[in-house]
């Protein structure tokens, strides 16, 4: 395996929240241990798991002799927002790289991100494309890069849709802390609310590289989760509507409803509908 091309090792803490993740979390841990450029530390923040998630992680990291500092936080069960927040606050790194317990990275993830940090020191928020893996085995490109337009205000783009995926983000810790961290009020959408609050201060760098896998598990596709996500999406936009014009807010609400319909009925699997969604998004960007 090639050595990192960067000339320095940035202070990156990986924050991984877990909850009853024993069946799949070791695949995630392996993608951290196998990084070409190891992180400065790994903070596993457990949300009161009732299975052997923590024990499996401890044993795995010991056996693999991880070449970085590791911390495992055992929190009372409270949901992903306070669990992520505990991990962020416990992290000592200048940068936070998020990785959910069922997602995975390519071995070059952190080395590629570090190259961006070295080349663009003004940047405080880095994200990349992913490949989306479905329970059926189907794969598709999770094209975050194409959703971002550097010529338009970030807040306007975020109001139309959440263009970020947590496991694809590496950002400055101070950016997260100054924005107030994740809000547990918005289950399934706590990340979206935080990105909106952070947006006035985000200096992003968007990578076309596919550096990770977003794993879509069956329980994430249930109607109840889809409905809750749509409702929270609209609540978040309403709570922050003073940040944008009424037209941007209204279009954002329509997009939230459309996404719910497309996901619920599987319409997004039709390539023609995908093209229609992309064309509609292009029109909305010009408003």
Give pLDDT, residue 1: 40
Digit-coded pLDDT (tens) for 37-68: 999 999 999 999 999 999 999 999 999 988 89
Structural domain 12-220, CATH architecture: Alpha-Beta Complex (3.90)
Taking only the tens of pLDDT, the chain with its 287 residues reads 444 445 668 899 999 999 999 999 999 999 999 999 999 999 999 999 999 999 999 999 999 988 899 999 999 999 999 999 999 999 999 999 999 999 999 999 999 999 999 999 999 999 999 998 888 888 888 888 889 999 999 999 999 889 999 999 999 999 999 999 999 999 889 999 999 999 999 999 999 999 999 988 765 544 458 888 899 999 999 999 999 999 899 888 988 888 888 777 766 544 554 455 555 555 555 55
DSSP string, the chain: -PPPS-SS---EEEEEEESS-TTTHHHHHHHHHT-SS--SEEEEEE---SSSHHHHHHHHHHHHT-SSEEEEEEPPS--HHHHHHHHHHH--SSEEEE--TT-EE-TTHHHHHHHHHHH-TT--EEEEEEEEE-TTS-EEEE--GGG--TTS-HHHHHHH-----GGGEEEEHHHHHHTT---TTSTTTHHHHHHHHHGGG--EEEEEEEEEEEE--GGGG-HHHHHHHHHHHHHHHHHTGGGS-HHHHHHHHHHHHHHHHHHHTTGGGSHHHHHHHHHHHHHHHT-
Q: What is the pTM assigned to this prediction?
A: 0.87
């Amino acid at each position: 395996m090639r050595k990192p091309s960067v000339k320095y090792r940035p202070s990156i803490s990986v924050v991984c929240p877990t909850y009853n993740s024993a069946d799949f979390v070791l695949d995630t841990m392996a993608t951290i241990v196998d990084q070409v450029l190891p992180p400065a530390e790994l903070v596993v923040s457990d949300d009161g798991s009732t299975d052997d998630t923590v024990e499996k992680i401890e044993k795995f990291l010991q056996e693999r002799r991880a070449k970085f500092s590791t911390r495992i936080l055992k929190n009372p069960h409270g949901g992903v927002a306070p669990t992520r927040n505990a991990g962020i606050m416990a992290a000592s790194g200048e940068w936070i790289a998020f990785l959910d317990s069922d997602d995975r990275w390519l071995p070059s993830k952190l080395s590629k991100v570090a190259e961006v940090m070295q080349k663009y020191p003004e940047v405080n928020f880095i994200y990349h494309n992913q490949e989306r893996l479905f329970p059926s085995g189907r794969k598709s490109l999770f094209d975050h890069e194409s959703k971002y337009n550097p010529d338009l205000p970030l807040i306007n783009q975020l109001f139309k849709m959440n263009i970020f995926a947590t496991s694809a983000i590496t950002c400055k810790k101070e950016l997260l802390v100054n924005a107030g961290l994740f809000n547990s009020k918005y289950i399934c959408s706590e990340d979206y609310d935080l990105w909106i609050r952070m947006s006035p201060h985000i200096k992003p760098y968007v990578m076309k590289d596919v550096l990770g896998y977003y794993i879509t598990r069956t329980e994430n596709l249930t109607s109840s989760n889809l409905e809750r996500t749509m409702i929270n999406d609209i609540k978040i936009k309403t709570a922050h509507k003073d940040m944008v014009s009424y037209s941007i807010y209204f279009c954002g609400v329509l997009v939230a409803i459309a996404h719910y319909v497309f996901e619920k009925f599987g319409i997004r699997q039709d390539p023609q509908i995908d093209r229609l969604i992309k064309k509609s998004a292009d029109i909305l960007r010009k408003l």
